[in-house]
Every structure is written in structure tokens, then in C-alpha cells.
């Protein structure tokens, strides 16, 4: 999973330690879910069968099943005594060790989480999607909350014919079913229940094949055909790279990727079926600022690290997130080069160091660690380990580890043992410094970077905090763009007409740090409005509008057709600036206000709504209709929108 829309939120993982994985092994689930009325937040008359093997004599077994109703519960086709306690379905019988049985039933659900129903019918954008990690699949499908029982899930769905239904495994058939469509998916291998997924919505898709012949299917909204290439850019290349780099073939039958509205995270690595936030669906310009590449590679890497081998508990969570973060970095390095890779490691080392200074650092084995620790420190462990043991040992050890533990669960020692076996030397000190101790070994990390990268050495050397006389030279002569950005952030007053001649990143930094524009730079600054970056355009528009009141109409005319990202960042700013430019398009002010207000409505994405509320509050214009939408936002499934709306509501009340 990846949270990157808001950096490093503490993930509160509640890992459930199942009491019964040594008593019963659930092997195969076949379930049929019926989506008959999309406005209703439940599925009804679903059918379910599960095959299981008894490992140890017992008088009862259970499935996790939250807030469901059951009918026709049968064991090997005969009625059986059962109890539904609202959390579990418990079935009673004299189960003998070695016995292989089938449990079947009909169930209805009404999920409050883990499956989300987005009713946007008037926009043609109804969706249903699931999120099993951290939320539990058992909220919508009877399953096992314990990650250690791996099950083959073969799911079928009935849904209205205008929707695509996308789930784990191969689509075996798609047939007419009394005016609806029956979708039958088939998996071949077992996985933990948190990786089960389904997404329903209006989608088109294209498929290409990896070098190894694996189908890679990219879903997109019908109106987004021009965004397919920039959104999914490098997908095949990264897939081919990871298969080569990891040395173990992709372990599932196919790989599908599906964007959805208002997703809870950046992406989620459901087996063979990654679901990701449609904020990453970008056009050619949005690609430059905010692309899907890192999330794409991260979720793909999880198909091995997390899905094929799964951490037994929260203590070993880094075996998933650290590995996914590391392999995503390697995939990016293959595309963008060494300096990019080193710079990302540098940035995460700085953040990890800061986390320790703030007193919130933890051992990597602490299940309550921050995402920063699990993801970035985890990736650092692998970079440092590889630097120590060498490429050959590292790659062979990873391969051995994956093959030895495939389709089962792993602990940190399982991985370390594989490396030690090939390295021939104890890794006790390494493990204690890099993995176990509370502090991130920031000096050792910087030492590695400085040994390995002249680019990082230069970056560290270029420092204008103390405002030295060399600083204006740095902006003229050849140092990396990253170093120039650093100088601009520290001494924006050094920017000259020449500085505008540098590339994308440097120009973006000018738009970010040179906020009061000197007259001498006016002409050059105006060219930023033509850059292929929605971030640069948003910054530049605001700064130009503020610095040169006499030219406000000119800047507004130039940017009137720019929308920006899916949160309409440029459009919202444009509306607000227009409303504050009395002489410009005076007749249309009410219409623009109505447009801004409309973006607070529940039919829009959470990020867009938050931005619209913020601007309305800034202008002290959150009227009665705005406040109704604000109240309504408090019950959204997206916690960021909920938190925001509650805080803004409170603030508005205090003012009254
Ligand atoms: Zn992840």
C-alpha cells in the first residue's frame, strides 16, 4: 500500500492474531456477489462455499464476517449448527484431524468499511471498490482476518451491464444473466484475505504483454483515452525490469491496474489487481508534476513482497513496505538514472534524521512505527545491505528467500538467514544497527551516499544558508538542477534573467520562491505561464497577479482555459483571482462564484472539495449552501475530508 498524497501518515495497523490457523486451513473460497441496486450500500443474496482441511480435532471453526446475515448454512450439504455474533460466523461440529469439508451458505452484507459505494449516477460515475489492508475484507466478504491463512479466492459477480467488474485472477467468462452480466474470475494460487479486491465502474481498458508474455491490463475512464499513455507510461518497462531484477517470474496470472475515485491511499497492491487513486490519472502536463510511476512500481513490487511472501505480523511489516519502496526506487533508477535514485535516498535519510530529532523514531521492528520508518528506513536497510554484501549475494539471497517461502508467511530472520547463508559472515551487527536500534543510523547513511555519489557530494557542498559569495556563481555555472533549486530556496534574490534559461525544475523553483517579482524579471517571469507544469502555472499566476496589479486582466485572459490537475488547482485559483479583480469580466462574477461553490458538492473528489472549501473560507464566502455541503462532508469515507470539514465547521461556528 502507499500513502503519498499526504506524506507519511501514521498507519495504525491492528494485526489480528488468528487463534485457529493451526486448527483449520481454509483452502478455496468460491463466492458469488450480487450488485443489483447500486444506490444501496450492500450486496444481497450472495452465495458462498469454502473448502477447508482440519489440522487438529476441534468442536468449532469460524470465518470472520462483520455485520452479515446468513441463511442455508450447510456443512457438506447438510444443515449445521452455527452462530452469528456480528463479527464471526461460528460453525459447530465434531471436526476430526485430516478431514476435508465444504461449508456453504447464502449471505447479505452491509459494509461500513472496506467496500465503498460511490453513487454519482448523475455524473455517470457510479463506482464500487474495496480496500482490504488495514480495514479487513471480512467487512464485505466472509474471510480470515489473520494474514497467515492463505486461500485461493474464485469470485463471481452479477452487475448491471453498463459496468465493468474487475477482480483478482483471470476473467473466465462474462455472460448474460437475466439482463445483468455474470462475471466469473478464477485464481490458481492462494493469498491472504486482505488482498481480495473488486472494483466496479465505467471503464475501458487496453492490454499489452510483458517480455515474459504476462498480460498487463490498464483500465481508464471512457473520457480519459488521451491520459492513458502519460498515466501508464513505463508500466511495461518497469514490469520487465522487476522480473529481471528480482529474478523470480511474476507469480500471478495477470496484472490489472484500476483507478478509482476518492481512494483512501495512493494505491493498493491487491493480488494481480492494483487499485489506485485517480488523482494519478494525468495528462501530458500533469505527468511532469505528479505522475503515477513511483506508486505504479511500488504496488507492482508488492506482488512479490507482500503477496507472494507475506509478513507474519506487524513486527515484520517492513518486509512488505521496505521492499516495495526499495524495488520501486530501483525501477525508477532504471528510467531516470543514478542521481535520481541517490537523491531520493538522500531526501529520506534527511527525513528519518529529523524524525529521530523530534523524538518519534522507532525500531524498524516496532509494529507501531510510522510509514516513514516502515517504507523509507526499510528501503535504506536494503540499500545498505546490498552495499555491504555486494550485488551477487544480495540478488541470489532475495531469489532464494522468495522461492523458499512462496505462498506462505515470513519473518525478518527468514530473509536475513538467506543473506547470511551466502555471505558467509554473521549480520548480527548490521541487523542491530540498521534494523533493531531505535535511531536511524543517519551518519552511516550519509557516509554511504558520499562514498557512492559525486552528485550528492556536490549537492551537500552547494549551500547558501550562510549566503556566501559563491552562491551567485552556482546559479550561473554547472551544478545540478537540484543544487540550483537549493540555492534558489535559500537565496531567491540571486535569481537573474539568466536563471530562467535553465530547465523545468529550476523554473518551478523560481515560481515557488521568487514570490515578489522584481520589475527587471517581469518579462521572463511571465514566460513561466507557458511552462508544461500545473504547479508552475499556479504559482506564477498568483505571484504575477499580486506583483503587477495593472496587468491582472492580461494574466487572467492568458490562463482562462487552464484547469490543472484533477483537483482543478489552476481553475480554482483563477476563479478566486477573477472574483478579486473587479474590472475583469464583471458580468460573470455570480456564475464564477456558483462554479466554485459547486465544487464543494459530494459529487466531486475529496481533494477538490477541500480546496474549494478553503478558497470560500479565505474569501469569507462560505454561505448556507456551502455549509450544508460542509456538514455533508463530515460523513464521507475519506478521513482527510472528514477531519478538514469538522475543523472548518468549528472555525466558522466560533466566528459567529
Ligand atoms: Zn506498500
How many residues are recorded in the chain?
A: 656
Q: Would you say 566 and 608 are in contact if contact means Cβ atoms under 8 Å apart? A: yes
Q: For residue 337, report the distance from its CA to the centre of ligand 1, in Å.
A: 23
pTM: predicted TM-score of the whole model, two decimal places: 0.94
Closest C-alpha to 260, from 241, 274, 245: 274
What integer is the mean pLDDT of 561-577? 96
Query: Ligand 1 center to residue 393 CA distance, Å?
Result: 25
Distance CA 142, CA 67 (A): 10
Centre of ligand 1 from the C-alpha of residue 192, in Å: 15
pLDDT above 70 (res 516): yes
Question: Residue 47: exposed, middle, or buried by beta-carbon count in 10 A (0-12, 13-18, 19+)?
Answer: middle
- Rounded to the nearest angstrom, the distance between the alpha carbon of 309 and the centre of ligand 1 is 14
- Between the alpha carbon of residue 613 and those of residues 468, 599, 607, 626, 630, the distances in Å are 43, 8, 10, 8, 8
H helical segments located in 172-302: 228-231, 235-246, 284-289, 293-302
- pLDDT by residue (tens digit) across 539-554? 999 999 999 999 999 9
What's the confidence (pLDDT) of residue 567? Answer: 93
Distance in Å, CA 62 to ligand 1 centroid: 29
Find the 298 Cα to ligand 1 centroid distance in Å.
Answer: 6
Q: What is the pLDDT of residues 489-498, one digit of tens each?
A: 999 999 999 9
- Rounded Cα distance, 341 and 331, in Å: 9
Q: Which residues contact 90 (CB under 8 A, 6 or more apart)?
A: 60, 61, 62, 82, 83, 84
Q: Which residues pair with 472 in a beta bridge?
A: none
Distance 362 CA to ligand 1 centre (A): 19
What is the spatial distance between Cα 364 and Cα 438, in angstroms, rounded to a whole number?
8
**Ligand 1 geometric centre to CA of 321 (Å):** 5
Give CA angle at 616 (610, 621), nearest 5°.
Answer: 150
Compute the distance from residue 1 Cα to the ligand 1 centre, in Å: 3
Distance 322 CA to ligand 1 centre (A): 8
Closest of 51, 64, 1 to residue 24, by C-alpha: 51
pLDDT digits (tens, 9 = 90+) for 409-429: 999 999 999 999 999 999 999
CA distance 586 to 605: 29
pLDDT above 60: residue 320? yes
DSSP 252-295: SS-EEEEEETT-SSSEE--TTEEEEEGGG---HHHHHHS-SHHH
Task: Label residue 6 by pLDDT band (50, 70, 90).
Answer: very low
Residue 93 alpha carbon to ligand 1 centre in Å: 40
Ligand 1 centre and the CA of 295: distance in Å?
A: 8
pLDDT tens digits, residue range 16-30?
A: 335 688 999 999 999
Is the pLDDT assigned to residue 656 strictly greater than 80? no
C-alpha distance across the termini of the chain, in Å? 42
Is the pLDDT at 7 greater than 80? The verdict is no
Q: Is residue 2 very low, low, confident or very high in pLDDT (cuts 50, 70, 90)?
A: confident
Q: Decide: 432 and 363 in contact? Cβ < 8 Å.
A: no
Residue recorded with cell 506508486: 295
Q: Find the 320 Cα to ligand 1 centroid distance in Å.
A: 7
CB atoms < 10 A from the CB of 180, how many?
A: 17
**Residue 278 reports pLDDT greater than 50:** yes
The answer to whether 184 and 156 have CB atoms below 8 angstroms apart is: yes
User: Ligand 1 center to residue 263 CA distance, Å?
Assistant: 14
> How many alpha carbons fall within 13 Å on the CB side of residue 5?
20
CA 589 to ligand 1 centroid distance, Å: 45
503 Cα–ligand 1 center, Å? 32
Residue partners of 644: CB distance under 8 A and separation at least 6: 610, 613, 633
Q: How close is the Cα of 4 to the center of ligand 1, in Å?
A: 10
CA of 351 from ligand 1 middle (Å) equals: 18
Span 31-40, mean pLDDT? 78
- Report CA(624)–ligand 1 centroid distance (Å): 41
Rounded distance from Cα 267 to ligand 1 centre (Å)? 8
Q: What percent of the chain has pLDDT over 70?
A: 96
Element holding 344 (H helix, E strand): helix 338-357
pLDDT bracket for residue 39 (50, 70, 90): low
Question: What is the dihedral angle through the alpha carbons of 639, 641, 642, 644, rounded to the nearest 10 degrees?
Answer: 120
**Residue 11 pLDDT greater than 70, yes or no:** no
Q: What is the mean pLDDT of residues 395-405?
A: 98
Q: Ligand 1 center to residue 580 CA distance, Å?
A: 43
Residue 289 has pLDDT above 70, yes or no: yes
CA of 333 to the centre of ligand 1 (A): 18
Distance separating alpha carbons of residues 68 and 635, to the nearest angstrom: 22
CA of 155 to the centre of ligand 1 (A): 24
Kindly give the distance from the C-alpha atom of residue 310 to the centroid of ligand 1, in angstroms, as a whole number.
Answer: 12
How large a percentage of the chain has pLDDT more than 90? 87
Mean pLDDT across the chain, nearest whole number? 94
> Residue 461 C-alpha to ligand 1 middle, in angstroms?
34
**Ligand 1: centre distance to CA 302 (Å):** 7
**pLDDT value of position 467:** 77
Could you tell me the distance, in angstroms and rounded to a whole number, from the CA of residue 313 to the centre of ligand 1? Answer: 15
CA of 447 to the centre of ligand 1 (A): 27
HSE toward the beta carbon, residue 448, CA cutoff 13 A = 18
pLDDT over 70 (residue 125): no
Using CA atoms, how far apart are residues 441 and 377, in angstroms rounded to an integer? 10
Could you please report the per-residue DSSP string of 370-388?
-HIIIIIIHHHHHHHHHHH
More confidently predicted of 189 and 477: 189
Ligand 1 centroid distance, CA of 300 (Å): 9
Give the mean pLDDT of 430-453: 98
pLDDT above 80 for 12: no
Give pLDDT tens digits for 383-395: 999 999 999 999 9
426 C-alpha vs ligand 1 centroid, how far in Å?
29
Confidence grade of residue 324 (pLDDT, cut at 50, 70, 90) = very high
Amino acid at each position: 500500500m502507499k500513502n503519498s498524497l499526504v506524506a507519511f501518515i501514521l498507519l495504525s495497523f491492528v494485526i489480528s492474531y488468528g487463534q485457529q490457523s493451526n486448527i483449520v486451513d481454509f483452502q478455496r473460497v468460491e463466492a458469488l456477489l450480487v450488485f443489483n441496486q447500486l444506490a444501496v450500500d450492500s450486496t444481497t443474496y450472495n452465495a458462498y462455499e469454502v473448502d477447508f482441511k482440519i489440522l487438529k480435532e476441534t468442536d468449532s471453526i469460524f470465518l470472520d464476517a462483520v455485520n452479515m446475515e446468513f441463511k442455508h448454512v450447510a456443512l457438506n450439504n447438510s444443515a449445521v449448527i452455527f452462530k452469528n455474533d456480528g463479527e464471526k460466523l461460528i460453525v459447530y461440529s465434531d471436526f476430526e484431524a485430516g478431514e476435508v469439508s465444504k461449508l456453504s451458505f447464502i449471505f447479505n452484507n452491509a459494509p461500513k468499511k472496506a467496500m465503498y459505494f460511490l453513487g454519482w449516477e448523475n455524473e455517470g460515475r457510479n463506482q464500487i471498490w474495496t480496500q482490504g489492508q488495514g480495514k479487513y475484507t471480512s467487512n464485505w466478504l466472509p474471510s480470515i482476518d489473520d494474514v497467515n491463512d492463505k486461500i485461493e479466492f474464485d469470485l463471481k459477480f452479477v452487475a448491471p451491464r453498463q459496468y465493468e467488474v474487475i477482480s483478482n485472477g483471470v476473467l473466465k467468462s462474462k455472460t448474460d444473466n437475466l439482463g445483468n452480466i455474470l462475471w466469473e474470475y478464477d485464481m490458481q494460487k492462494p493469498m491472504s484475505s486482505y488482498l481480495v479486491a473488486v472494483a466496479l465502474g465505467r471503464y475501458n481498458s487496453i492490454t499489452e504483454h510483458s517480455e515474459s508474455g504476462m498480460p498487463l491490463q490498464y483500465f481508464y475512464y471512457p473520457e480519459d483515452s488521451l491520459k492513458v499513455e502519460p498515466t501508464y507510461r513505463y508500466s511495461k518497462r518497469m514490469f520487465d525490469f522487476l522480473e529481471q531484477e528480482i529474478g523470480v517470474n511474476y507469480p500471478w496470472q495477470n496484472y490489472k491496474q484500476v483507478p478509482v475515485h476518492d481512494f483512501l491511499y495512493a494505491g493498493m497492491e491487491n493480488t494481480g489487481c492494483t487499485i489506485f487513486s485517480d488523482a494519478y490519472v494525468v495528462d501530458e502536463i500533469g505527468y511532469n508534476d505528479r505522475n503515477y510511476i513511483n506508486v505504479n512500481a511500488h504496488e507492482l513490487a508488492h506482488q512479490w513482497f507482500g503477496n507472494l511472501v507475506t509478513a507474519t505480523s506487524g513486527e515484520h511489516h517492513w518486509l512488505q513496505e521496505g521492499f516495495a519502496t526499495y524495488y520501486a526506487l530501483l525501477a525508477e533508477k532504471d528510467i531516470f538514472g543514478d542521481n535520481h535514485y541517490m537523491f531520493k535516498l538522500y531526501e529520506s535519510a534527511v527525513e528519518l534524521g529529523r524524525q529521530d530529532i523530534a523524538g518519534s523514531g522507532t525500531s524498524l521492528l516496532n509494529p507501531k512505527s510510522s510509514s516513514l520508518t516502515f517504507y523509507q528506513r526499510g528501503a535504506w536497510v536494503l540499500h545498505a545491505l546490498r552495499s555491504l554484501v555486494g550485488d551477487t549475494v544480495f540478488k541470489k539471497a532475495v531469489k532464494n528467500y522468495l522461492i523458499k517461502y512462496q505462498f506462505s508467511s515470513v519473518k525478518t530472520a527468514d530473509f536475513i538467514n538467506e543473506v547470511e547463508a551466502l555471505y558467509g559472515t554473521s549480520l548480527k551487527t548490521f541487523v542491530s544497527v540498521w534494523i533493531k536500534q531505535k535511531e536511524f543510523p543517519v551518519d552511516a547513511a550519509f557516509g554511504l551516499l558520499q562514498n557512492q555519489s559525486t552528485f550528492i557530494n556536490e549537492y551537500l557542498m552547494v549551500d547558501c544558508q550562510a549566503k556566501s559569495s559563491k552562491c551567485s556563481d552556482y546559479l550561473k555555472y554547472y551544478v545540478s538542477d537540484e543544487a540550483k533549486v537549493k540555492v534558489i530556496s535559500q537565496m531567491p534574490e540571486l535569481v537573474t534573467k539568466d536563471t530562467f534559461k535553465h530547465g523545468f525544475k529550476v523554473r518551478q523553483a523560481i515560481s515557488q520562491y521568487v514570490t515578489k517579482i522584481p520589475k527587471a524579471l517581469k518579462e521572463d517571469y511571465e514566460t513561466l505561464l507557458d511552462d508544461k507544469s500545473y504547479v508552475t502555472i499556479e504559482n506564477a499566476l498568483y505571484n504575477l497577479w499580486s506583483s503587477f496589479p495593472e496587468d491582472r486582466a492580461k494574466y487572467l485572459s492568458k490562463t482562462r482555459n487552464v484547469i490543472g490537475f484533477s483537483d482543478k488547482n489552476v481553475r480554482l485559483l483563477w476563479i478566486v483571482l477573477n472574483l478579486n479583480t473587479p474590472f475583469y469580466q464583471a458580468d460573470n462574477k455570480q456564475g464564477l462564484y456558483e462554479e466554485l461553490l459547486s465544487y464543494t458538492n459530494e459529487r466531486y473528489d475529496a481533494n477538490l472539495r477541500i480546496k474549494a472549501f478553503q478558497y470560500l473560507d479565505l474569501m469569507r464566502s462560505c454561505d448556507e449552501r456551502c455549509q450544508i455541503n460542509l456538514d455533508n462532508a463530515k460523513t464521507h469515507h475519506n478521513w482527510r475530508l472528514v477531519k478538514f470539514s469538522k475543523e472548518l465547521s468549528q472555525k466558522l461556528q466560533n466566528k459567529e
